[in-house]
Amino acid sequence: MPFINEILKYDSLSIVGLQKNTGKTECLKYVLARLPLEQKKVAVTSIGIDGETTDQVTRTQKPEIVLREGMYFGTSEAHYRQRRLVSELIDVSDESTSLGRVVTARALTQGKILLSGPSSTQGLRRWMRDTRRHGIDLAIVDGALSRLSLASPAVSQSMILATGAAYSINMSQLVQRTAFVVDLINIGVTSERNIGLLDPLEGGLWWIDTDGELHEMEAVTSLSQQVQFHGMERCATIYVAGALVDSFLEKVRKNKALKQVELVVRDFTRVFVTQQQLKMFEKAGGRLRVLHKSHLVAVTVNPTSPAGYVLDSSALCDRLSQAINLPVYDLLKN
């Protein structure tokens, strides 16, 4: 697949499913089997548990994770002891999970492994930083259910999005909902000047006037019911450091002084608005931008739901590809 070469352009990759059983683990297996290890040193971990033969929630069969000789991996102490491969221990982290500390090792033979790495985004960033000290060129994170935050540019440079019938068995709804997520991933980046002003700000609500001066708003977050826009007639940009929600977007849209405003968030994982509200905001003249953009390298589909419903794979790939203007892959079929 062309996207394998695209992955090699980045030093980190997150594989994220929009729902359980959308083919995320199959995608991970596909990628691990095809990466050119002679070109890149690769490390892999998971924020959930990957490699189990049976899903603990749906009781359906799951694909096992097979590592090739030379691959590095991060997993819990408990699952490291259950490995079915010969490995060289590289590091035992201070990071503790419910299954013990996180162990990093290198596979000396091909074999199967249960992956259960750091349980937080902060822990993941630390693990990825530590692997680079061992010369890792590409760190791969397999996400857990609905953890789109793993696809944040703060965690990984690139991402693969897995969707499918488990997300919706109605093809039109599935295409629409997935396309909206892709639209969010592809939100444009704000100006370099805005990035310089806003990137250091970890919290709160801020605005930049038409002269480029930065001001802090009284409300702490966009969730506040007391958000006021007094004295912001010359506002050019509003920055939401935390989560962007429908109620705040609606207040901005209805304020006549903010008709042409640019609304900035840190990255797409901070956006928690409906498609309808976003369309109304943009139709009124507003623009949504990010400080940091994710690089979507591929979208994959699993046309089969856990309940046994099967969508037409070719039709699904074609319709979704047209909606997002990107190739879409059914990896099992291909």
CB 148 within 8 A of CB 123: no
**pLDDT tens-digit readout, 34-54:** 999 999 999 999 886 654 444
- Do 179 and 199 fall into the same domain? no
Q: Is 3 exposed, middle or buried (0-12, 13-18, 19+ CB in 10 A)?
A: buried
Residue 262's pLDDT is: 97
Tell me: do 37 and 159 sit in the same domain.
yes
pLDDT per position as a tens digit, 138-197: 999 987 545 567 678 878 999 999 999 999 999 999 999 999 999 999 999 999 999 999
| pLDDT at 297 exceeding the cut of 90 | yes
Residues 6+ apart with CB under 8 A from 192: none
Amino acid residing at 180: F
Residue 40: inside a domain: yes
Confidence of residue 63 (pLDDT cuts 50, 70, 90): low
301: Cβ contacts below 8 Å, ≥ 6 apart = 22, 23, 162, 163, 164, 313, 316, 317, 320, 328, 329, 330
The CATH number for 272's domain is 3.40.140
- In this structure, is residue 251 part of a structural domain? yes
Together in a domain, 173 and 240: no
Question: Closest Cα partner for 178 from 78, 301, 72?
Answer: 301
State whether 175 and 53 are in the same domain. Answer: yes
Domain membership flag for residue 208: yes
Domain total for the chain? 2
Mean pLDDT, the chain, as a whole number?
90
Mean pLDDT of 96-114: 92
Per-residue pLDDT tens digits for 240-277: 999 999 999 999 999 988 989 999 999 999 999 999 99
Residue 173 lies in a domain: yes
Instruction: Tell me how far apart the alpha carbons of residues 33 and 65 are, in angstroms, rounded to a whole number.
Output: 10
pLDDT at 60 over 60: no
- pLDDT of 69 higher than 50: yes
Q: What is the mean pLDDT of residues 208-220?
A: 90
Task: Identify the pLDDT of residue 239.
Answer: 97
Strand-strand pairing, 12-17 and 158-164: parallel
Q: What is the pLDDT of residue 184?
A: 95
Q: Is 234:269 a contact under the CB 8 Å cutoff?
A: no
Tell whether 334 is covered by a domain.
no
Q: Are residues 182 and 232 in the same domain?
A: no
**pLDDT (average), residues 77-85:** 94
Residue 55 belongs to what domain range? 4-186+294-329
Same domain? For 280 and 299 the reply is no
Regarding whether 87 and 162 lie in a shared domain, the answer is yes
Q: What is the pTM of this model?
A: 0.88
Please indicate, yes or no, if residue 231 is contained in any of the structural domains. Answer: yes
Say how far apart CA 305 and CA 313 lie, in whole Å: 12
pLDDT top residue among 231 and 177: 177
Question: Does 180 reside within a domain?
Answer: yes
204 & 181 share domain: no
